[in-house]
Structure 1
Amino acid sequence: MSELLQWSDALVLGNDAMDRTHEEFVQRLQALQAARDDALRPALRALIEHTEAHFGQEDAWMAATGFAPDNCHQRQHAMVLGLMRQVEQQAAQDLSLVRRLADELAIWFVQHAQMMDAALAWHCEQVGFDTATGTLRPTSAAQPVPDVPMSHCGSAGCGTR
């Protein structure tokens, strides 16, 4: 087992709704990483259920703020969730796959949060989207939601423009 992922200031994005969801993800991932063999499959199921809601929430925010339906951020969500479900199906035969998944998710999540989710939080702020209510705030400081749907993640480092 690798070191447990810890919630820290490095993961805080300044978007309360996103930060709460991310902190819960870290807690559920910690539970999975620390689970005994007999608790491993239920801990994975709890993480998957959380992740379905977590990614669904972010995907809805992207749809509401001008992202194309098949942008790279959502594709990454779909790939990670698909892998989690596949490992869950194979867990009855091989618990080591669950442990490896947990360790890999801990590495992946930090990078995903600090790049793609940070870009989404910034984008929501720029267009005046309130993630707590799911609505655009009427504000003169906000940039308009893009006319052409964005297929990239919103990160300055994203090569898909």
Structure 2
Amino acid sequence: MNTVEWSETLLLDFPPMDEVHHTFVDLLALAQAAPDETLPQAWSAVIDHTVRHFGNEDDWMRRTRFAAADNHIMQHKVVLNVMREGLGLARAGNMAAVREMAGELAVWFAKHTQTLDAALALHMRSVQSDAPARRTNRANEHPVSAP
């Protein structure tokens, strides 16, 4: 099974994402190591975190009009749907399927982080660095809140 560990290859130099990603990795690792009797609860904790994690990213993309938002948000929806199916499998006693799913999620997460999330982190850093200039240059408009 593919396991997940936090490493510097997952750092994106955008602390709000890096922190939530680190927590995701920790929770997924706990689920992967969980005995069968606690796997449904551990998997549920990964899902609960992921709902907030993806929700925050989706909100950032929408608010800042991130160019690749549609594809990125769709991936989030698909992954969450599969994870929720996994919870049903875990509750039905099919732990092997959930463990396989967790391994595939680990691989997907590393690729997703290093591609789509890396692009989003770059965009978010750019938006943050532009925010004070926008406030100064557009004094008559409503202030832009930095993510």
TM range (shorter): 0.7 to 0.9
Which residue pairs with 1:62 in the alignment? 61
Ranges in structure 1 where 5+ consecutive residues have no aligned partner: 130-135, 141-161
In 2, Cα distance between equivalents of 1:104 and 1:72: 20
Q: 1:70 to 1:111 in 2, by over 3 A?
A: closer
Residue aligning to 2:139: none
1:120 corresponds to: 120
CA distance in 2, matches of 1:69, 1:112: 13
Secondary structure of the structure 2 residue equivalent to 1:67: coil
After superposition, the C-alpha distances for 1:114-134 in whole angstroms (9 at most, x for unaligned) are 0000000001122227xxxxx
Residue identity matched to 2:106 = A
Deviations 1:16-63 (A, max 9, x none): 110000000000000011010001000000000000000000000001
Identity %: 43
Residue-pair matches, total: 133
Could you tell me how far apart the structure 1 residues matched to 2:68 and 2:80 are?
A: 17
- Secondary structure, in 3 states, of the residue corresponding to 1:128? helix
User: How is 1:141-156 mapped onto 2 (pairs within 5 angstroms)?
Assistant: none
Is the radius of gyration larger for structure 1 or structure 2?
2
The alignment's TM-score, normalised by the length of structure 1, stands at 0.77
In the alignment, which residue of structure 2 is the partner of 1:148?
A: none
Structure 2 residue aligned with 1:151: none
Map of 1:34-113 to 2, 5 A cutoff?
34-67=33-66, 71-91=70-90, 92-113=92-113
Partner in structure 2 of residue 157 of structure 1:
none
Q: Is the 8 A contact 1:128 1:139 kept in 2?
A: no
2: CA distance, partners of 1:126 / 1:3: 34
Tell whether the 8 Å contact from 1:45 to 1:88 is kept in structure 2 after alignment.
yes
Deviation string, structure 1 residues 107-157 (Cα, Å, up to 9, x no partner): 00000000000000001122227xxxxxx72237xxxxxxxxxxxxxxxxx
Question: How far apart are 1:69 and its partner, in Å?
Answer: 10
Q: Does the CA contact (< 8 Å) of 1:48 and 1:84 recur in 2?
A: yes
Identify the residue that residue 22 of structure 1 maps to in structure 2. 21
User: In the alignment, does 2:138 pair up with 1:139?
Assistant: no
**Does the 8 Å contact 2:2/2:104 carry over to 1?**
no
Give the TM-score normalised by structure 2: 0.84
CA RMSD of aligned residues (A): 1.8
For structure 2, the 5+ residue unaligned runs are 135-147
Letter in 1 for 2:36: D
3-state SS of paired residue (2:132)? coil
